[in-house]
Structure 1
Amino acid sequence: MSCNCNNLDKNGKNIVDLVRGKGKAEFLLKTPHEIQCSCNKTFLMTTCVDKCPHCGMVYGVTPCSSSNKENILAADINY
């Protein structure tokens, strides 16, 4: 995916918007990541856009940067 993800200013909403716009929100991650949510619960993130089942916080990562957990950013609750 030619995503220009370097131009997103580390903004979760921008990442989620870009991934959704490219039709890759449901793209499975090669390595699922355990996320410590802002609600202090953990969940397993398996797709490029995923939601905490406890509070609804949406997280996103581009497919090209999904191997590094540090690239996963929160967007907003039910975003």
Structure 2
Amino acid sequence: MSCGCSSLGDGKAIVDHVKSKGKQFNPPLVAHEMHCECGETFTLETVIMDCPSCGMTYAVTPCSSADIENIKPAGIRYA
């Protein structure tokens, strides 16, 4: 991740970091089509977003949100 967030190893750490910066409502640089583990497909509209079907939270830092590989699952309704 280009912002120095590469030490964030999992989705929970990304959620915690992004929320600590107050950036959780930022849109990603690219509105990625996400294929959730439950089979649902949805568009990632904010850098932290829950799957509308099962509630799995997905997260990415704003500066690294152009690459879908940086989006990580954090757990069901991880807050």
TM-score, with normalisation over the residues of structure 2?
0.91
> Which residue does the alignment assign to 1:61?
60
Cα distance in 1, alignment partners of residues 41 and 51 from structure 2: 8
When the two chains are superposed, the root-mean-square deviation of aligned CA atoms in Å is 1.4
1:56 positional shift: 0.3
SS in 1 for 2:6: helix
**Cα-to-partner distance string for 1:4-63 (whole Å, 9 max, x where unaligned):** 311112x00000110011100000123100000010111100111011000000000001
Which 5+ residue runs of structure 2 have no aligned equivalent? none
> Which residue does the alignment assign to 2:76?
77
Name the count of aligned residue pairs. Answer: 77
Cα distance in 2, alignment partners of residues 6 and 30 from structure 1: 18
> Which residue does the alignment assign to 2:5?
5
Equivalent AA in structure 2 for residue 22 of structure 1: K
SS in 1 for 2:54: coil
> Which residue does the alignment assign to 1:26?
25
Poorly superposed stretches of 4+, deviation over 4 Å: none
% identical equivalent positions: 49
Which 5+ residue runs of structure 1 have no aligned equivalent? none
TM-score, with normalisation over the residues of structure 1?
0.91
